[in-house]
Structure 1
Amino acid sequence: MSVQPGISPADEFEDDLQRTIYEYVERNGAVAPAELAGSIRIDAERPQSKPARSGEYTESVCPPAGDLESCLEDLKERGYLTESDGKVRVALSGTATELDHSDGTVTIRPAREEDRDGVVETMREVADGSTYIVADDVATRLDRDSALVRANGEVSRVFFTAVFDPESDGETADGGASRVVGWVHVDAPELPALRHTVELTAGVDPEFRRNGIGSSLLEYGLEWATDAGYEKVYQNLPATNEKAIEFLEENGWQREGVHEGQYCIDGEYVDEVMLATWP
């Protein structure tokens, strides 16, 4: 089982060392095993010739290598953490899906910490002109946070990315490097009464639109939300973002209402359209 947004695994850990390992990885996004071994500390009693007034004296020390390795392997086996590209990460379920593109291949997969800059850049590109307020806000929060994917019971979000890989013999403006060209983001509310719902944002780099990437990202995010046990997925958009509203409605989303004059964009009051789907 992989970690789900809105659900803290804190009560599932067998000891404080497991909790400390998970919290360090979750807080930092992607951690090399050597860094983990040098950063994790536990309290240990320290012998003293004269006892402290409390009768106890502890110091923070690195755990034995065997204990650290055992706890890390257990967290991997239980589906809380995973290791890829030489780094330990929060486990996020999802099978990669490939889409053909005229100049290469687009792969939709669980996001990695290394995708963060590409995700933020794509979000800002899509939100240009204040047409996607929520996405712009998420991008701002990512700039301030320490990790892309969070699952700690307070901050709860996951990302999946669409990554373009050009053909090896093709000529591309970016020199042939792969890059993030789309995202889907699922964010769970903290309130228990709203735990059956999640907010979703999704977008595609304008250069890569009309290739089925947006629909595939949306389907990927909804499938993940359903598998994770969420019942309702929602998204709010400025009424001026007509293309995005039309896109969601074409994919079965329903309008639930309007917040009149919710935004002030370029000196004009703009309504907010609330849309949702029960996948």
Structure 2
Amino acid sequence: MDAIERPTFESDTASELYQYVERHGTATRERVREAIRLPPAEFDETLDQLLSKGYLQEQGGKLSLALDIGAVESHTTGTETYVIRPSRPADFDGLVDLIRDVSAGGTYVIAESIAEQLLYEDAITRHNTVESRVFFVATKDEEIVGWCHLDLPQVETQRGTAQLTVGVAHDARGQGIGSQLLERGTDWARANGYRKLYNSVPLRSERALAFLDDHGWHTEGIRKDHYTIDGDLVDEVMMAYTIE
């Protein structure tokens, strides 16, 4: 299933089963069956429909959303090799830790709030009739060193724009990883019909603002004294990128 495809269901039972997995990220068959209290035969039939329709997938005994957001790509810079790929449920802890580390000190407030949202919802990917959320990650030796996140509203009037965040671990910077992640997210948005990306950064985050400016983003607006960071009022710079 594509992340821009709004899921539709043949029955309330199918919707309830899908929503349980979508809200929990991953779950075993037994856990889902116990939670929604369906007779075994009806549960198996409904689950098979969702699996065959490509809404859910089953790997290692666990159910999760089956979102097709692209392939695994390998990149080499100098003597370093890293991989950029769609996120997986098993990335959860490493992804949250990285986002928290990169956004520490009030340098990336939007990313900080995303980490807290992941922890609250206990799921990386979301995809329902209201919102869709996908992540690409960069890894070195299976360790997550960067991310690109796209928040994709499913409400019709907002489906042309998406929020994007991107970040790289401090010790992995200077290798082009951030640029490749940004390009991967932008290319995906372009291929799926989005016309605009936006990102909001505190004015004090000069490195992040310069990075976005270097990649063709522009300042769309400034909200004065929007954040309180370390006791100081800090402006928010609203950045945007028009996809052509």
**Alignment partner, residue 64 of structure 2:** 89
Q: Rate the CA distance shift 1:163–1:155 in 2: closer, same or farther, 3 A.
A: same
Q: 1:267 to 1:163 in 2, by over 3 A?
A: same
**Is 1:122 matched with 2:98?**
yes
| Secondary structure of residue in 2 paired with 1:25 | helix
State the distance in 1 between where 2:109 and 2:147 align.
15
Kindly provide the CA deviation profile for residues 55-114 of structure 1, in whole angstroms up to 9, marking residues without a partner as x: xxxxxxx230xx544443432343322233443211222111112367764221111222
Of residues 126, 132, 150, the one that matches 1:150 is 126
Change (3 A) 1:191 1:33: closer
- Deviation, 1:225, is 1.9
Tell me which of 172, 182, 193 is aligned to 1:229. 193
Q: Indicate yes or no: 2:73 matched with 1:109.
A: no
Separation (CA, whole Å) in 2 of partners of 1:191 and 1:74: 26
Percent pairwise identity: 40
Deviation of the 1:37 alpha carbon: 4.5
Counterpart in the other structure of 1:48: none
What secondary structure sits across from 1:259 in the alignment? strand
Aligned to 2:202: 238
Q: Distance in 2 between matches of 1:38 and 1:270?
A: 49
TM-score (norm 2): 0.88
Matched, 1:63 2:40: yes
- Which segments of 5 or more consecutive residues in structure 2 lack a partner in the other structure? none
Q: Give the structure-1-normalised TM-score.
A: 0.78
Q: Structure 1 residue 32 and structure 2 residue 9: aligned?
A: no
Separation in structure 2 between the aligned mates of residue 215 and residue 86 of structure 1, nearest angstrom: 36
Check 1:72–1:224 CA distance in 2 against 1; reply closer, same or farther (3 A cut): farther
**1:185 match: secondary structure:** strand
Residues 147 and 181, structure 2, Cα contact 8 Å, conserved in 1: yes
Amino acid at match of 1:88: L
Q: Which is helix-richer, 1 or 2? A: 2
Task: State the AA in 1 paired with 2:56.
Answer: L
C-alpha contact 1:119 1:180 (8 A) present in aligned 2: yes
The reply to whether residue 18 of structure 1 matches residue 14 of structure 2 is yes
Counterpart secondary structure, 1:92? coil
- Let me know the Cα RMSD of the aligned residues: 2.3
Number of aligned residues: 242
Larger radius of gyration between Structure 1 and Structure 2: 1
SS of 1:119's equivalent? helix
1:46 counterpart residue number:
none
Please give the per-residue CA displacement for 1:152-182, whole angstroms capped at 9, x wherever unaligned: 23453221211221xxxxxxxxxxxx32111
Query: Cα deviations across residues 1-23 of structure 1 (Å, max 9, x unaligned)?
Result: 4233xx641xx211233222211
Residues 170-221 of structure 1 show CA distances to partners (whole Å, capped at 9, x for unaligned) of xxxxxxxx32111111113465432211111110101111111111111111
Matches within 5 A, 1:131-150: 131-150=107-126
